[in-house]
Each structure stands twice: as structure tokens, then as C-alpha cells.
A = this chain, B = another copy of it.
Amino acid sequence: MDMDEVIYRPIGIIHTGFRDKAEAPIQGVFAKAAKGEVVVFPEYADGLKDIEGFSHVILIYHFHLADSYSLVSMPFLEDKQHGIFSMRHYKRPNPIGLSVVRLESVRGNKLEISEVDIIDGTPLLDIKPFVSQFDHRDNAKSGWLSNPHLDMVRGESGRHRPE
């Protein structure tokens, strides 16, 4: 492998009602009603076997609207600059997105999902089962993303304001 480049191919597309960042919730967990549909390309559909047993899945996707990145910037609702690796902002060196979504139902190669914070038309790279025992850590310390900041996010009903 050429260690300089990693090449992936989308395995599907994520459809939601959010046309851009301004319409999308900041974090899906604060937007219980936000719904979407994952369409996995038919050639990968066999990989969905048994996924219906999981209440939540992790979607890994490409932030296709990111056309640049900054190593340091000011997140939404913040008045201080932070490093990109201590933020969830989409303008990252490798614009990879990660969302835990609720899996409502599975029909063939289509997954109905909710608690979605993803923009319509986003290319899907991978789906992993969400497993509390693997993915949760008790008493995690969240640095600048502390409770006052999170309360502000909730206070915006989890939505971005226009920039």
C-alpha cells in the first residue's frame, strides 16, 4: 500500500431532510425526531445481515461539502479557538464524519434512522454496530465541551444558526 494515500469507495448514500449545515442539528442525540434513510448500494446489502438486532448504529461518512480545513478554529457557540482534533467540526484534514443514530427499521438495503445530524446526499463509508460495552466510558472528561457549552447547544434546539 502507498502509505501516502488511502482510497475508499462509498458503500451507500444517506438521505435526510437537511440540505445544508444550517438546517442540520448539531448533534443527533439532541434531535430525537430528525429522521433519515440510509441506502446501501445493492452489492453491499448482504453485509447488513443481523443489523436489525441493534437499536443504534455508528455511521462513518465523508463530509462531502468540506472544501478546506483549519487546524484551529472557533466552534459554533464558542468564543475561543480550539484545535480541530478537540472538535467535531467538519472542516478536518480528513473530512470523516461519525454519528451514532437510532436504527428504526431495516427493509432490504434501506435503513430507516432517527436522531440524525447528517446532510442529505452524504456518501456513506461504513456502518458499525453500536455496542455500549465497547463504546461507552464512564466518567469521561470532556475538556472545553463541558456542561455549560452543551447546555447552550441544547438551548438552540440542537440546530445551527446561519453563519
Which A positions have Cβ atoms within 8 angstroms of B? 1, 3-11, 27, 29, 40, 44, 46-58, 60, 62, 64, 71-72, 81-88, 92-94, 96, 98, 100, 102, 123, 125-137, 139-145, 150
Do B100 and A29 have beta carbons less than 8 Å apart? no
**How many copies of this protein are present in the complex?**
2
CB distance from A117 to the nearest CB of B (A): 9
Specify the main secondary structure of chain A where it touches its partner.
mixed
**Closest B residue by C-beta to A13:** B3
CB distance from A50 to the nearest CB of B (A): 4
15 A-B contacts (beta carbon < 8 Å)? A6-B9, A11-B93, A11-B94, A27-B134, A44-B71, A49-B81, A50-B86, A51-B83, A53-B86, A54-B141, A54-B143, A60-B98, A130-B140, A130-B142, A133-B142
B-side contacts of A84, CB under 8 Å: 47
Do B55 and A140 have beta carbons less than 8 Å apart? yes
Do A83 and B46 have beta carbons less than 8 Å apart? yes
